[in-house]
Chain A
Amino acid sequence: MRTSDMKNSDFTAKPRNTIAPIDRLIWHYENPDAEAMAAAAGNVPVVGVTSNTAPWELIRAAGAFPCVINSGNPNYPDIGTFMEEGVFEERIRAIFGAAISGDLQHLSLLLIPRTSEQEYKLYLYLREVARQDPTRRIPPLYLYDMLHTRSPESYSYGLERTLCLKERLEELTGKRIDDAALLYAVRESNSARKAIRKLLSLRNPVPRVTGTEALTLIGASFFISRDEYAHLAGQAVEMIEGRAPVAGKRVMIAGSPLNHRGLHHALEKHGAVVVAEDDWWGSRSAGMDIADGSDDLLKAIFEKYYLDAPSPRVFPFEIADAWFQEESTHGIDGVVFYLPPEDCVVGWDYPRRRRFLDERRIPHLLMREDAGSISEECHEQIERFVNNICIR
C-alpha cells in the first residue's frame, strides 16, 4: 500500500461489528498497523514479517500476533543516510524507514524472511543501524534464512532454520509450541486460505468483483487475525456472489509484486477487469492448504512456505513459471507486465514470458512506470491496449 493509500493507524477507530464485512476488510487494508497496535497495547507480543515466506502458523502457535509490515514512508528523510537511492524497492525502503524512525517499536520482533535478496540486505542494514545507534527504537531482528532453490540440501537447511525459528519464538513469548497449538494455528490459517480461494473463484472466469476491490479484500488477511479474516471474508463472499458480473477485458498482471492498488485502478478505469496477479499480494496469497492431518506439522508448515510460496528466488524456470503459464492460458484476455523503474530482477523473466504469450497469441503490455504515479502518456497507452484486446 502506498503512503497515499494509508490512513493513520488508530486502532481505537476500528469499525464496529455492525458495519458491513466488506467495509471492515477495506478498513483493515487501509489501516495495516491497527490490529497489531491493538494487540501490542493488550500486551500480546507482535511479530512483524516483511513478506510472504515467513511461517505465520509458527508465530501464532507461539502465542504472538503475526502481521505483515506494509506501512512506512519510502521518502522518510533519514533513509538516504543509509540506503542508496534507486537501489532498493520502494516497499523495502518504506519498511526500513518505518523501522529506523521508531514506527515499528510496537513489534516484539521483526522477522525478515529471505524471500528476496533485498530483504536480506534490509536485515543487514537494520542490524547495522541498530549497532551504530542504539538509541533508535528498532525492534529486535530475526533473519529467517529459508533458501528457495529446489534441492535436497536447501530443503534440509530450510527445515533446520525453521526449527531454530520455532525456538526463537518460544523464547520470545515464553510459550512452548506444541502440536495442539500448531494444529490450531494451521486450521485457523487454512480457514483464511479457503476464504481467499472462494474470493478468487469470484474473479475468474466470470468476474463479480473488480481487481481493485479483490486486492483490498485479500490484502486485509495480512493484517488481522486469520479467524476474524475467515469470518469476514466468508461473509463478503456471500455478498459478492449475488452481484452481476463485472464487464471488461479480463487482464492478468505479472512482474514485480504490487502492494498497492494503483495499477489495478488504472487498468479498470480504462475498461479492463483485473482477474489475477502473479503475486503474493493477490492471487497467489493463499495457495494450497497445509495438511492438518500430517504427523509432522512443523515439517508440513515448512513445506508450505518452501514449495508453495512465490519468491523471486524460486528456481528453476519451469517451477518459477508454472503458475504464470497455467493462469495466463485460462480465461485471460491480456497480460500487463509490470516492471517498475527500480526493477533489476524480474526483467530477466520478461522476454521468456512474453515469448510464451506470443506463441499463444495472448496480447500483452509492458509497463515501466511506477504504478503509484502513472503519467497521462501511460494512461493513454493502457487505454489503447485495453481497447485493442479481443475478448477470448
Chain B
Amino acid sequence: MAEKQLHCTLAAGEHQKAWFAQLRKDVFEKQRPYAIIQADMPFELFHVMEVPVVSNQYWAAIISAKRLSGYYLDALNSMGFHEGLCRYCSLAAASTLANDPEHAPWGGLPKPALLSARLTCDCLQRVFAIWAEAFGSECLFIDNPGAADLPPRWWEFSRYHWRELFEEHRLKFTVTQFQNLIEALERVTGRQFQIDRLRDLMERVNRQEEYFEEALQMICSAPRTPVRMHEQVANVMAAQWKRGSDWAVEHARTFRDEIRNRVRQGVAACPGERLRLMWVGAGIWHDTDFYTAFEEEFGAVFVWSMYLAFGPDGYIRYGLDDPLLALASRTVSMNEQLHNPPWANEWIVHQAKLHRIDAALVLTPMGTRPAATGNRFIERALEQAGIPVLPVVADMVDARDWDPDAMRLKVSEFLRHRVLPHLNSARRHS
C-alpha cells in the first residue's frame, strides 16, 4: 500500500469505511433507502433528497484494491458473459451476481432502493438492468444527448458561461431526465424535492471545488509537489462522492490547508523530485504502489490526474438562478470533457502546461474499451506540445493481465531512454 503523507488522507479513508459501515447498518436495521449510481451521475439530487449513494466505480476500485477483481470477473465469465466485456463498469455488478457476501469487501453491497446510470455507452443499460434484476431493485436511466457543437477551451466558459458552452437542447433534455429522477427519489423517500436546497448544495459544491482549486494552484506553483497523485485522488474522491455535504466541504478545506502548510514549510512529497509525471485515465486501483515506484531512481513523481483537476474546471457553476439547469450543465458533457476529442485533448495539454509536466502515461484499458476512446488524440496532442507519452495498455480494476515488474521496467526504460534525453536536450537548447 502506497505511503500516506497527509493526515487528511488517513481521515478520508477512515471516514469512507465508517460511512459504509453506517450505511449497511441503516439499510439492514432501519430499512433506509440508498442508491447505486454511475460516477458521472448528478449526485447532488441524491444528496438533496438524503439518499446515500455508492458509486459503481468507487465500489469497483475497492474490490480491485482488495485484490478480488479476478475472483468476481471469473464468476461473471462463468455465467456466459465473455471476457471482452467492460470490466470497470461491471465489476461491482459481478460482486452481486456472484452472490457470495463472505468474500465481499466490508460485507458487500446491501440491496439498494434504486440503481441509476447515464447512458454514455451502449453497455450501461445492460449492466445496470442485469444488476437491478439480481437485486430486485428499481433501475432508472438518464439518456445522454450527443454534442455537435464543442467550442474550443471549454474550461474558460464552464463557470460563468455554461449556458452558452453547452447546446440548449441538450441542457433542456437533461433537465427533463433529472425531473424523472427526482420523481423516483420522491417516491423512494416519501420526501418532496426542494429546489432551494439544491441551490444551497450547489453553492457549497462551488466552495468545495474552490478549495480544491487552491490546492491545485499550489501543486502547480510549488517548486516540488507537496502531495502525490494517489493522495490527491484519495482525498478528492472521498469528498466528491459526497460533494456539497458539510463533511465534504470541510474535508476539502482541510486538504487545502494541509497542502498550504506543507508548501509554506517547504515540504515536498518527494524531496528528490526531478521529473513531474501525468497520469491520464482512471487509476490502476489494484496496484497504487505503482505511482511511487519511480521516485527513488528517477525522482519521477506523479503530480497530476484528472481527479483533482476536473473538480474546479468541471464542477464550478456560477449563476445558480436555475440550479437544475446548472446541474445539467455540470453533468451533460463529462464524457466529452474527460475522454473525447476535441475537449479532452485540449484540456489535458492545458493542464500539463499548468503543472509543468515532463512526461505523461496514458491508460488504454482494453478490458474497458469504451473508456479507451480519445486516447490517440490525447497522446498526439501531448507529444505535439513537447511532452513525451507512454501509452499503458492495462485495466484499471483487473489485475489478471497486469505484470507489476514488467510494467515498472517498461516505465523505467521510457524515463531513461525517452524522457531524460528529451529533457537534457531541451535544457541544453534553453
> CB distance A124 to B125 under 8 Å?
no
* Given A84-B376, A157-B173: A350 in contact with B340 (beta carbons within 8 A): no
* B110 contacts A by Cβ under 8 Å: no
Distance in Å from the Cβ of B416 to the closest Cβ of chain A? Answer: 26
* Contact between chains at A348 and B127 (CB < 8 Å): yes
In the complex, what residues of A have CB within 8 A of residue B190's CB?
A: none
In A129-174, which residues have CB < 8 Å from any B CB? Answer: 131, 142-143, 145, 147, 149, 151, 153-154, 157, 160-161
Contact B84 A344 (CB under 8 A): yes
Residues of A within 8 A of B375 (CB): 84
B221 CB–A CB distance under 8 Å: no
CB distance A149 to B146 under 8 Å? no
| CB interface residues, A 91-146, toward B, < 8 Å | 114, 116-118, 120-121, 123-125, 127-128, 131, 142-143, 145
Closest-CB distance, A324 to chain B (whole angstroms)? 14
Whether B173 contacts A153 by the Cβ 8 Å rule is: yes
Q: In the complex where A145-B148, A317-B129 touch, is A84 in contact with B123 (Cβ < 8 A)?
A: no
Do B143 and A149 touch (CB < 8 A)?
A: yes
Contacts of B376 in A (CB 8 A): 80-84
Q: Are A143 and B148 in contact (CB under 8 A)?
A: yes
B364 at the interface (CB under 8 A from A): yes
Is B336 part of the contact surface with A, judged by Cβ < 8 Å?
yes
A243 to B234, CA, bound (A): 70
- Complexed CA–CA distance, A81 and B377 (Å): 8
**Contact across chains for A349 and B126 when beta carbons are under 8 A apart:** yes
With contacts A87-B369, A128-B341, A315-B141 taken as known, whether A153 is within 8 angstroms of B177 at the C-beta atoms is yes
Q: Is B236 part of the binding interface, using a Cβ–Cβ cutoff of 8 Å?
A: no
Residues 33-92 of B contacting A (Cβ, < 8 Å): 79-82, 84-86
Q: Does B16 contact A (CB under 8 A)?
A: no
Known: A81-B376, A347-B84, A354-B80. A160 touches B126 (CB 8 A): no
Contact call A157/B145, Cβ cutoff below 8 A = yes
Among residues of B, the one whose C-beta sits closest to the C-beta of A145 is: B146
Q: Which of B122, B145, B377, B380 contacts A117 (CB 8 A)?
A: B122
**B299 at the binding interface (Cβ < 8 Å):** no
Q: Is A205 an interface residue (CB 8 A)?
A: no
CA A317 to CA B130, docked complex, whole Å: 10
Number of residues in B with C-beta < 8 Å to the partner?
46
CA A121 to CA B82, docked complex, whole Å: 24
The answer for the CA separation of A295 and B84 in the assembled complex, in Å, is 47
Given that A344-B370, A347-B85, A350-B80 are contacting pairs, would A131 and B126 also be in contact in the complex, using a CB cutoff of 8 Å? no
Q: Does B120 contact A (CB under 8 A)?
A: yes
CA distance A349 to B130 in the complex (A): 10
> Which residues of B lie under 8 Å from residue A345 when comparing CB positions?
122-123, 126
Say yes or no: is B188 at the interface (Cβ < 8 Å to chain A).
Answer: no
Task: Tell me which residues across on chain A come within 8 A of B145, comparing CB atoms.
Answer: 145, 147, 157
On whether the beta carbons of B122 and A87 are closer than 8 Å, the reply is no
Pair A151/B372 contact, Cβ less than 8 Å: no
> Hey, which chain B residues are within 8 Å of A128, CB to CB?
341-342, 345, 377
Q: A384: CB under 8 A from chain B?
A: no
Chain A proximity of B114: nearest CB distance (Å): 16
Query: Taking the nearest CB of chain A, how far is it from the CB of B228, in angstroms?
Result: 28
Residues of A within 8 A of B (CB): 80-84, 86-87, 114, 116-118, 120-121, 123-125, 127-128, 131, 142-143, 145, 147, 149, 151, 153-154, 157, 160-161, 312-313, 315-317, 339, 341-345, 347-352, 354, 368
**Chain B residues engaging chain A, CB cutoff 8 angstroms:** 79-82, 84-86, 119-123, 125-127, 129-130, 141, 143-148, 150, 169, 173, 176-177, 180, 336, 340-342, 345, 364, 366, 369-370, 372-377, 380
Closest 5 CB pairs of A and B: A348-B126, A351-B80, A128-B341, A153-B176, A145-B146
Q: List 6 A-B contacts (CB under 8 A).
A: A128-B345, A131-B342, A142-B148, A316-B125, A343-B82, A354-B80
